[in-house]
Amino acid sequence: MEASIPRSGRWLWLGTLGLASACCALLIARPVHAQQQEAPGPRLATESPYFFVKSDDPEVDRLPLKGTEVDVKISGVIADVTVTQTYRNEGRRPIEAGYVFPGSTKAAVGGLNVRLGERLVTAQIREKQQARIEYDSAKKEGKTAALLEQHLPNVFQMNVANILPGDDVKVELRYTELLVPQGGNYRFVFPAVVGPRYNSPQSANAQAAWVAQPILRAGVAPDTRFKLKVAIDTPMGIKEVRSLTHEVDVQRRDGDTHADIALASGNGPADNRDFVMDWRLAGERVESGLMLYEGHGENAENFFLAMVEPPKSVPANAISPRDYIFVVDISGSMHGFPLDTAKATLERLIGGLRPSDSFNVLLFSGSNRMLSPHSVPATRANIEQALATLRNYNGSGSTELIPALKRAYAEPKADDVSRTIVVVTDGYVTVEREAFELVRRNLSKANLFAFGIGSSVNRHLMEGLARAGMGEPFVITDPVQAPEQAARFRRMIESPVLTSVKARFEGLDVYDVEPAALPDVLGERPVIVFGKWRGEPRGRLVIEGRGANGPYRQVLEVDPQGRRDAAALRSLWARHRIERLGDQEALEGGDAYRQRITDLGLRYSLLTPYTSFIAVDQVVRHPAPQNSIGVDQPVPLPQGVSELAVGQGFGAEVPSTPEPETLGAIAVVLSVLAMLRRRARRHDARRFTA
């Protein structure tokens, strides 16, 4: 039986006996968790994370990472971070420790030291294969060595060879990061754990060994110390320092222009989720301006960074109607907290649409289903039919993001309608490169916003999707953040898009400017321009574009007497160019940009996909290195992530009863559409009264 639907939009009523039977079959079938594949054959070759089982063998220390300390110094909009990992071998045999850990997607990783007793070894940057050869050679010779490699912009791996019984080895990693304010709010994020990844056979990383990392069971706290402290220095007073992810102690001094922040003690494990800290300054304006660095010595280079406030927003009634497709992940790793938070977020996202807007919802896991064959207006009738449909809907499976995105882009739309795709997921997949390419190739059809939900979101995926789709990433690590991020999304889509943006320099000789072309600017997001300069620091930077109210223009004057000691700009510029070349490489395929990225990494001493840091202690400490054993340090399951996200091999048995993940997903969309129904009723009532 099909319900009669208004011509303004058609929702399908899933009421036939056959379809009801299919839904029933889905309910009683064994769910396929986020890491399980659905067919035998070649797919068995893909890597998969697994649960860690500690043996009682006293010969081998299976947990050699004893502690991590993070020291952060923030000056203005630049963060300098030092991460110290302490390894100790409490077993009786020499070991090689391997540890997969996350990093900031914006980090310019520029240094590595190894401390072995009283000896300090400074790492050197090498081409990736050369670094691996030097590391393997040192390992075979019985020397203690450390190798730092980048698997993804936010996934690193540390290997430390020939840690003898009783050894203490400290590895110090240093990186720099630019902190771009959003709506006047500053945020620092330290990712603490790599979440388990669903490794699709279609992924370019299908054979990536790092994916097969050991994971601690849910509720098992990591047996490592974790300390973090942050020092903030600003030219104006600091206010509203807070962390919604961790309990922190805040000490202020120097007239509130300096703050020391540390993790509060006695609140359980702190390294099973991202650390997120927000703060605002006493002035409501963003610290716009021009930062300079003047190089020294032969072949020295000078660098600049410009940050310009975005234009102000205009009334929502001045914005043309839009169409939204919400692509929602309901796979195993979204079970529990992530889906509960997705519910609260979608209530606000869809509830904030205007009656003149249209929308659709696509739920995906191993397969995907649209709630309507086409997008429909947010009218009362459509919302009622959508609610009826969702009450009869069920689905489960793995995390097949690519087919879901393809289906969303394939949806037809009118030529005069601007479409936005909103992806809601934790990002626990390995198809980043394929997803970025797909989004870029469909940029003419829609822009894209990415909502990452979970305590340790795959930020590389979320930020890359948004960058490729000319949108913005949003990350929600705690349910409390859902209203704030949904409100930020609404402010951004209701703000004018600044188009035809150009940066023009007058009186300052600049070159190697990044980005080469400025993207459209969304409300609350500053304009960022990197580059190099020569000659005298004078003149001005002019930013021009077109907003909803007509031409837009801002001017930044160069201060000849200003500070020129922002040395971090050198690494940040190179990191930005490497990121752009990586995007282009993913779009075009092949390895045409490999050498350019490698050369930048070597020249500016930066970790890249094609360069690694290698440190070798020249003392032969282990005369029989063949007796050494490899140990992979387990990582905690991210807070709020279900064990359904971890597979015990692709043929693993899973519970025979239906998991509540799908019911949670249905609750997400039901709540969202209930909000829409209330809004539509109010709109209809106002129209009737008029």
Q: What's the CA gap between 399 and 202, in Å, rounded?
A: 12
- Residue-wise pLDDT for 113-148, tens only, equals 999 988 999 999 999 999 999 999 999 999 999 999
Q: Decide if 487 contacts 529 (C-beta within 8 A).
A: no
pLDDT tens, residue by residue, 277-312:
999 887 655 556 888 999 988 888 999 999 887 766
Of residues 216, 219, 220, the one with CA closest to residue 195: 216
Write the CA distances from 529 to 77, 139, 542, integer angstroms: 14, 44, 11
**Can you say whether the dihedral through the CA atoms of 328, 333, 338, 340 is positive or negative?**
positive
Determine the pLDDT at residue 449.
Answer: 92
Q: What pLDDT score does 100 carry?
A: 93
CA distance 382 to 370: 14
Residues 49, 211 contacting (CB under 8 angstroms): yes
Report helix, strand or coil for 53: coil
Among 150, 72, 147, smallest CA distance to 105 is for 150
Confidence at residue 532, expressed as pLDDT on a 0 to 100 scale: 95
Domains of the chain and CATH, by start: 17-29+319-481+660-689 (3.40.50.410), 50-285+602-632 (2.60.40), 289-314+497-601 (2.60.40)
Alpha-carbon distance of 206 to 275, in angstroms, equals 29
pLDDT in tens, 307-357: 887 766 666 655 667 888 989 888 878 877 787 777 667 777 776 677 778
For 198-230, the pLDDT digits (tens) are 777 767 665 678 888 899 998 888 889 999 999
Express as a percent the part of the chain with pLDDT over 70: 78
**Which residues fall within 8 angstroms of residue 312, CB to CB, at 6 or more apart?**
495, 523
Q: Which residue has the higher pLDDT, 624 or 188?
A: 188
Task: Tell me how far CA of residue 618 lies from CA of 14, 88, 128, 492, in angstroms.
Answer: 70, 20, 20, 55
Q: How confident is the model at residue 45 (pLDDT cuts 50, 70, 90)?
A: low
Distance (Å, rounded) from C-alpha 175 to C-alpha 206? Answer: 29
| Distance (Å, whole) CA 676 – CA 390 | 14
pLDDT tens readout for residues 497-520? 677 788 899 999 999 998 877 766
- Of the candidates 269, 359, 273, which has an alpha carbon nearest to the alpha carbon of residue 669? 359
Geometric angle at alpha carbon 230, from 227 and 235, rounded to 5°: 175
Mean pLDDT of 477-493: 82
How far does Cα 458 stand from its chain's mean position?
A: 4
**Could you give the CA distance from residue 193 to residue 168 in angstroms, rounded to a whole number?**
23
Closest CA to 286 of 521, 598, 604: 521
The reply to whether omega before 6 is within 30° of 0 (cis) is no
pLDDT of residue 164 exceeding 90 = yes
DSSP character string of 232-250: EE-SS-EEEEE-SSS-EEE
What phi, psi does 353 have (nearest 5°)? Answer: -75, 150
Q: What is the pLDDT of residues 585-628, one digit of tens each?
A: 877 777 789 999 999 999 999 999 999 999 999 999 888 777 78
Gap between the Cα atoms of 477 and 639, Å rounded? 10
